[in-house]
Structure 1
Amino acid sequence: MVLRILLPLALLTLQGCAFAPGSHIETSGWNPDYEAPPEEDFSHLVNVSRIGPANLRQAIVAEIPSPPEEILLEDSDFQYRIGIGDVLQVTVWDHPELTIPAGSERSSQESGNVVNENGDIYYPYIGYVNVAGKTTQQVREEVADRLSDFLEAPQVDVSVAAFRSQRIYVSGAVETPGVYPLTNIPTRLVDAISQAGGLDENGDWRHVVLTRDGRDYSLSLKDVLEKGNKQHNVLLQSGDVINVPLGNDRKVFVLGEVASTQTLPMGRNGLTLAEAISNVGGLNERQSDATGVFVVRRSEQAGPDSEHLIDLYQLNLKDATAMVVADSFTLNNRDLVYVTAAPLARWNRVISLLVPSFSALFLGDSAVNLTE
């Protein structure tokens, strides 16, 4: 009876991998000519890095890189240009009949000069003046020059009574999304968010998206407010779209030998590798290989013709103090955290499939002996 048990066990041990758990589709019975495709080697597409104290600065990828130079403008670079729909207030000192022709009861917006669809305003004595694309200083000089043919040394002042031609759009997780006018006062990212009532509770302030001329730029409002990083507080231009995404829309996936495999929302403050492992209950101490904690990330250079598609980071958590390193490694959207199984755990899974068969065989022989 012992030989009857040990002999099949020895044979099955040699072929244990064939009985390992996993998905399988049998195709030979359907098409005898079918040949399984050869396994492809993807190793040349993967860039592997180890996460450790010696190279932590190189292994950690910055959450949000600095914005490109072309959008880093100073306030001194900004000049409001008059556009169609704006209302101008033209004042000629000592000539109230020109300044307020309809009486003092009307506001500046009501009594001002609206820029028409041709970019012109009409003014007494001088007729139409093209103002679109010009600054108030340029318009003042032109009006004064043309009025000098009718008035002696006219003193002219030009201001914008209503800003209607230039606007920005704020959408997403803010209190009051909408369209907001640009004025002659430079408007930056923080100003636009404040005009929109501030961030919603679930707004991801680390990945605010600025869309300008069909191109997206990722900005971190958190870096501006918490770290004083002025680079992300960019100067806005007409037509800019500011979108604050929901933090729950950004996720990471934790799989493998952990207490509970889950999809974790990153929230407004993001997740570190240590937080992700902790949130799923930690490593499975009996089944996991603590030396094989991996972060799989799509490469920023990934594309149809790219030879580098995946960044793979490995962390050895055999020493629990390495969790300090893990807490410094910031995860990106759609990262996959995978904890491998220990070799013994993989073997135990094969044995767990075989034990019921041998138990039945042993009990069957015992039952035969008892009947004899």
Structure 2
Amino acid sequence: MQQGDAFVVSVNDRVTRATAVVPDLSFPQSFAAAGRVTADRINPGDVVNLNIFENVKDEPLLSVAGERLSVLTDVQVDDQGYIFVPYAGRLKAAGRTPDQLRAAITKELESQTPDPQVMVSRLAGDGSTVSVSGGVTAQGVYAIERPTRSLLGMLSRAGGVSIQPAVAQVRVTRGGTTRKVWLQDIYENPKADIALRPGDKIVVEEDRRAFVALGATGTQTRVPFDTRTLSAIEAIAQVGGLNTYLADPTGVFVFRNEPASIANKVLGRSDLQGDQRMVYVLDLTQPMGMFHARDFVVRDGDTVYVTEAPYVQWQKTLSALTGASSAADSLRSASGG
């Protein structure tokens, strides 16, 4: 039924099926198909430690007499991917594994000191890092290392999520693409635990969806969703239920701007275009009313309105009439009439 520029629809099983739309949050295939970064691959901006053991005691090349071990700490790979090692010179480090860099340094040093033994370890650096912010315990910039190659590993590195998991969403920006998923999906679906890439930006945020509750409910306010999917009966319960003395259970309304694709399904039409104003009516006194309210999905931006019982409306009318009469009597008394 159409009232003005809005359609008024009584909720039934067909309507609940046609309107059961929930946010489909997922990462694109390019995110999901990316292989895990080899944590040992050195990148520009990374930091490495070098331990060089020389097989001489009296005149070592890199250390003082009597010391065979030389330790070079916090050697940073420059923007061009090179490091400088005394007596070995400027060497390409980016793109190599620590073992490959070890072999390159050994080759340069072995002509100057007998049988040098070189150890290379890659540390956290600027080259392979991601940023983690929002609802985590410790926001910051973290290196992609062996335990933190995947999204869950990195969230653990940041101290874990500090907001309710049921309403937590994880947003990842990679290059020019931004997508988000439910945190719970990452826990439950290994494919959602994507491999990270240097430069990824991870933001943990609370679900921002909300509905407005009005009329004879326990509260009248804008109410954030506290679950991933929210039914009409759950929405009513979330605001304290129906007011026992005021509410009319035959008149629970949900106001919504419905996309044309769904509005056409609900109304059995194909000619509607653009968003349509819809008023869905739930009667909780009907035998199937509670089931319909349980199955009807409330969506972001909905207005849930509960009408007042006819008795309450009559009481208001009577109060208004009584108040007006009392005011008239007061005026007559004041004028001495």
Same fold (TM over 0.5): yes
Cα distance in 2 between the residues matched to 1:173 and 1:264? 20
- The more displaced of 119-128 and 310-319 is 310-319
**Residues 9 and 281, structure 2, Cα contact 8 Å, conserved in 1:** no
Q: Within 5 Å, give how 1:129-278 maps onto structure 2.
A: 129-132=91-94, 134-136=95-97, 139-140=100-101, 143=104, 147=108, 160-165=121-126, 166-184=128-146, 187-202=149-164, 205-213=167-175, 215-225=177-187, 228-246=188-206, 251-267=210-226, 271-278=230-237
Distance 1:77 1:176, change over 3 A: closer
Cα distance in 2 between the residues matched to 1:125 and 1:237? 35
Cα distance in 2 between the residues matched to 1:101 and 1:297? 75
Cα distance in 2 between the residues matched to 1:256 and 1:146? 81
- 1:168: how far off? 1.9
Cα distance in 2 between the residues matched to 1:73 and 1:239? 17
1:235-264 deviation digits (Å, cap 9, x = unpaired):
2222222222356x6543111343432332
Cα distance in 2 between the residues matched to 1:174 and 1:355? 58
1:335-362 deviation digits (Å, cap 9, x = unpaired):
43234568x6898599558745996799
Cα distance in 1 between the residues matched to 2:118 and 2:29? 36
Cα distance in 2 between the residues matched to 1:100 and 1:290? 92
Aligned to 1:22: none
Distance 1:205 1:294, change over 3 A: closer
Aligned to 1:296: 256
Structure 1 residue corresponding to 2:37, chosen from 75, 78, 87: 78
Aligned to 1:88: 48
**Residues 49 and 314, structure 1, Cα contact 8 Å, conserved in 2:** yes
Q: Secondary structure of 2:304's partner? A: strand
Cα distance in 2 between the residues matched to 1:56 and 1:288? 22
Which amino acid is 1:213 matched to? Answer: G
1:209-251 deviation digits (Å, cap 9, x = unpaired):
22333543222112233xx12343222222222222356x654
Distance 1:325 1:138, change over 3 A: farther
Q: Secondary structure of 2:180's partner? A: strand
Cα distance in 2 between the residues matched to 1:299 and 1:157? 66
**Residues 36 and 149, structure 2, Cα contact 8 Å, conserved in 1:** no
Q: Secondary structure of 1:207's partner? A: strand
Superposition CA RMSD, Å:
5.0
Unpaired stretches in structure 1, ≥5 consecutive residues = 1-40, 302-306, 365-370
Between the two proteins, the alignment pairs up a number of residues equal to 305
Cα distance in 1 between the residues matched to 2:158 and 2:54? 41
**Residues 298 and 311, structure 1, Cα contact 8 Å, conserved in 2:** yes
- 1:115: how far off? 1.0
Distance 1:257 1:169, change over 3 A: same
Which amino acid is 1:323 matched to? Answer: M
Distance 1:64 1:259, change over 3 A: same
The alignment status of 1:122 with 2:89, answered yes or no, reads no
Cα distance in 1 between the residues matched to 2:138 and 2:100? 35
**Residues 136 and 160, structure 1, Cα contact 8 Å, conserved in 2:** no
**Residues 143 and 156, structure 1, Cα contact 8 Å, conserved in 2:** no
Aligned to 1:14: none
Structure 1 residue corresponding to 2:22, chosen from 50, 62, 82: 62
Cα distance in 2 between the residues matched to 1:222 and 1:353? 52
Cα distance in 1 between the residues matched to 2:163 and 2:186? 18
Identity of aligned residues (%): 21
